[in-house]
A and B are shown apart, each in its own frame.
Chain A
Amino acid sequence: MSEKTTSFFRYLAYAMEIILLYVLGTTPNLLPEIFGAKPTLLLCVALTAAIFEREIPAMVIGMICGILTDLGYSNGIGLFTISLTVICFIVGYAANNLVVAKFTTFLLYAFIAVGGIFMLYFLVHIVWAGVDDCWGYFQRHLLSRMVQTYVLSIPIYFLNRFIYRTLGNEIN
C-alpha cells in the first residue's frame, strides 16, 4: 500500500476509535462509576495518538477529542480543547525530534498531562466557579477520574501503537 493509503486507513482507525469511545463515555448508565467518577476516554485517545503522530495530525486529533469532551459538558469549547490541542502539538513535535517515544516515556508524559489537565479543570471549573466543598469534590470525583483516565490510557496506548505499527511508519 502507498503511504497515502496507509495514512488514510490509520486516520480512519483513529476516527472510529474516537467515535466508539465517545459513545462509551456518553451513553447513560453504560460504564460503571468507580468512586463516583468515570474516566475521560477521549483524553486517553488524544494523549496516546499524539505520541505516534507528527505535530499537525497530533494537534488535530487533540483538538477533535477536546471539542467532543468540552461539548459533552457545556455548549461551548474551552479548557479541554485548548489544553489538548497544545499538549498534542508539543508531544507530536517532541516525540519526533527531541525524545525517544517509548512506553516509559509515555507513562511519564501521560502522568504529567493527565494530572495537569485535571488540576487545571479543578481550578477553573470548581475552585474559581465557587463550587462548595472543593476538597471533597477533589477526593470523591476528580482523583478517581484522574487515576481511571491514566490507567485506561495504557491499553489505549498499545491499541494506538498497534494501529501505528500496522498502518504507519514505525518510530518506536
Chain B
Amino acid sequence: MKELWESGKIKIFLSVLLVLVMLTLFTRKVENNVLSTSVNTLTYGLSKVSAAAKDRNTDGMSYDELKDEYDAAVDANRELRARLVDYYDVKEENARLWKFYELKKEHKDYQFVPATALRRDSNDEFYSFTIDKGTASDITTGDPVMGENGLIGYISEADVNTAKVVTILSPQSGIGAIDKASKDTGIITGSAKFADDNQTMFAKLKSEHKVKEGDIITTTGVSGIYPKNLIIGEVKDIGYDTYDTSYYAIVEPYEDIRKITDVAVITDFEGEGEILKRTSE
C-alpha cells in the first residue's frame, strides 16, 4: 500500500478524479456542453445504423425463410438496380411524413420536423429518448414532440445533430391540460407509479371536478409553449392524492410512448411564446 502512495499512479488517479468532479459540476450547469455534444456526434452514426438495423423486422423468421428472402432481394436488386437508387430511403421518409400529414392539414400553422428515435437508455425509467435531429433542423429546447396519435413530450436538450425528448410519462413534464368533455383543467405530469403501464397523471384537479373515465385530455395552449388542442390521451381512472389533497386522473396516451420510434417535433406554431413574450414585456 505504501508503494502505491509513493508511486505516480495515485497522483494520476487523483488528478483524473479531480478533473472528473470538475467536469461533473460543469456539465450539470451547462446545457449542450462540449462533452455531451462530442459524444453525441461521435455516436450519432453508430446509433443511426443500429436503429435502422433494428427497424428491419425479422422476428419469427427461420433461416430458410430469411435466405429465400435474401435470394429474392438479390435477384430483384440486379434487375432494378438503376431504379432502386434511394428508393427505400424515400419510401421510409414518405411513410414517416404520411403519419403527420393529417395533422399538418388540420393545423396549417404547425412547422414539423419528422425524426426517429436513435437510442433509449436503459437507466431512464421514464422512457426518455434521443432523436436524430437537432438544432441544425431548427429544433430548440422546449419544442413539443408529437407522435402519430398525440403528444409525446418535449425537447429537453438539443445539440447540432441530436436532441433528447422528455416524455409525458416523466414527472419532469408539467403541461397545462384540459378535459374536453367537462372543461376541467389540470397539469399533466408523470409518475413512477404509472409510467411502466404507459400512463401519466392529469393532476391538480379541483375537488368538484367532473372528469370521468373515457374523457379525452388535450393541451390548453394557454402558456404558448404547447399548441392548443394537442391530444394527450384518454382518462382511465380517477384517484386522490393524500399528500397534496387533490384529485388526479390517470391518463393513457393513444401512443405507446415506451416503444415509439417515429415522432415529429413542432418547431413553430401560431401563438408560440406569446404569453412568455407578454410576461417579459
Chain B residues within an 8 Å CB radius of A59:
12-13, 16
- Assuming A77-B20, A85-B17, A133-B192, is B261 touching A29 (CB within 8 A)? yes
A28 lies within 8 A of B16 (CB): no
B124 lies within 8 A of chain A by Cβ: yes
Q: Give complex CA distance A133, B243 in Å.
A: 12
B280 CB–A CB distance under 8 Å: no
B9 lies within 8 A of A56 (CB): yes
| A73 x B121 contact (CB < 8 A) | yes
Cα distance A25–B257 when bound, in Å? 18
Question: Nearest CB to that of B158 among chain A residues?
Answer: A75
Q: Give the Cβ gap from B229 to chain A, nearest Cβ, in Å.
A: 29
Contacting pair B192 A37 (CB below 8 A): no
Check if B31 is an interface residue, CB within 8 A of chain A. yes
Contact of A36 among B21, B120, B123, B196 (CB under 8 A): B196
Q: Which residues of A contact B120 (CB under 8 A)?
A: 26, 28-29
Interface string of A44-88 (1 = CB under 8 A from B): 000000000001100100010001110111011110011001100
With contacts A26-B121, A76-B36, A145-B122 taken as known, whether A89 is within 8 angstroms of B171 at the C-beta atoms is no
Does B40 lie within 8 Å of A71, measured CB to CB? yes
The proximity string for B residues 152-164 relative to A, scoring 1 for CB distances below 8 Å and 0 otherwise, is 0000010000001
Contacts of A31 in B (CB 8 A): 122
What are 13 A-B contacts with C-beta separation under 8 Å? A25-B121, A26-B119, A26-B121, A29-B259, A56-B13, A59-B12, A67-B39, A71-B35, A72-B121, A76-B36, A81-B20, A85-B16, A89-B13
**Residues of A in contact with B (beta carbons under 8 Å apart):** 19, 22-23, 25-31, 36-40, 55-56, 59, 63, 67-69, 71-73, 75-78, 81-82, 85-86, 89, 93, 97, 121, 131-134, 136-137, 140-141, 145
Interface residues of B (CB under 8 A from A): 3-4, 9, 12-13, 16-17, 20-21, 23-24, 26-28, 31-33, 35-36, 39-40, 43, 46-47, 50-51, 53-54, 117-125, 129, 157, 164, 171, 191-193, 196, 259, 261
